[in-house]
A and B are shown apart, each in its own frame.
Chain A
Amino acid sequence: DTGVSQNPRHKITKRGQNVTFRCDPISEHNRLYWYRQTLGQGPEFLTYFQNEAQLEKSRLLSDRFSAERPKGSFSTLEIQRTEQGDSAMYLCASSYPKKSSGNTIYFGEGSWLTVV
Chain B
Amino acid sequence: AQSVTQPDIHITVSEGASLELRCNYSYGATPYLFWYVQSPGQGLQLLLKYFSGDTLVQGIKGFEAEFKRSQSSFNLRKPSVHWSDAAEYFCAVEGDSSASKIIFGSGTRLSIRP
Q: A residues engaging B (CB < 8 A)?
A: 4, 33, 35, 40-45, 48, 55-56, 91, 93, 97, 101-110, 112
Taking CB atoms and an 8 Å cut-off, the chain B residues in 35-84 that contact chain A are 36, 41-46, 49, 51-52
Q: Which listed residue (B36, B43, B49, B102) contacts A45, Cβ 8 A?
A: B102
- Contact yes or no, B34 A42, CB < 8 A: no
Residues of A within 8 A of B45 (CB): 107
- Contact yes or no, B44 A91, CB < 8 A: yes
- Contact yes or no, A56 B99, CB < 8 A: yes
- Contact yes or no, A110 B42, CB < 8 A: yes
Residues of B within 8 A of A45 (CB): 101-103
Closest chain B residue, CB of each to CB of A46: B101
A42-B104, A103-B102 known, 11 other contacts, Cβ within 8 Å: A4-B43, A33-B101, A43-B44, A43-B104, A45-B101, A56-B99, A101-B51, A102-B32, A103-B32, A105-B46, A107-B36
Residues of A within 8 A of B98 (CB): 97
Q: Which listed residue (A41, A97, A105, A109) contacts B34, Cβ 8 A?
A: A105
State in angstroms the CA–CA spacing of A41 and B106 once bound together. Answer: 5
Q: Which listed residue (B43, B94, B103) contacts A91, Cβ 8 A?
A: B43
Residues of B within 8 A of A108 (CB): 43
What are 7 A-B contacts with C-beta separation under 8 Å?
A33-B101, A48-B101, A56-B99, A91-B43, A97-B98, A102-B49, A108-B43
Residues of A within 8 A of B106 (CB): 41-42
Residues of B within 8 A of A42 (CB): 6, 90, 104-107
State in angstroms the CA–CA spacing of A101 and B51 once bound together. Answer: 7
Task: Tell whether A105 pairs with B107 under 8 Å between CB atoms, given A42-B90, A91-B43, A110-B42.
Answer: no
Taking CB atoms and an 8 Å cut-off, the chain B residues in 88-114 that contact chain A are 90, 94, 98-99, 101-107
- Contact yes or no, B43 A109, CB < 8 A: yes
Distance of A36 from chain B, by nearest CB (Å): 11
- Contact yes or no, B43 A107, CB < 8 A: yes
Q: Which listed residue (A41, A105, A112) contacts B102, Cβ 8 A?
A: A105
State in angstroms the CA–CA spacing of A103 and B34 once bound together. Answer: 10
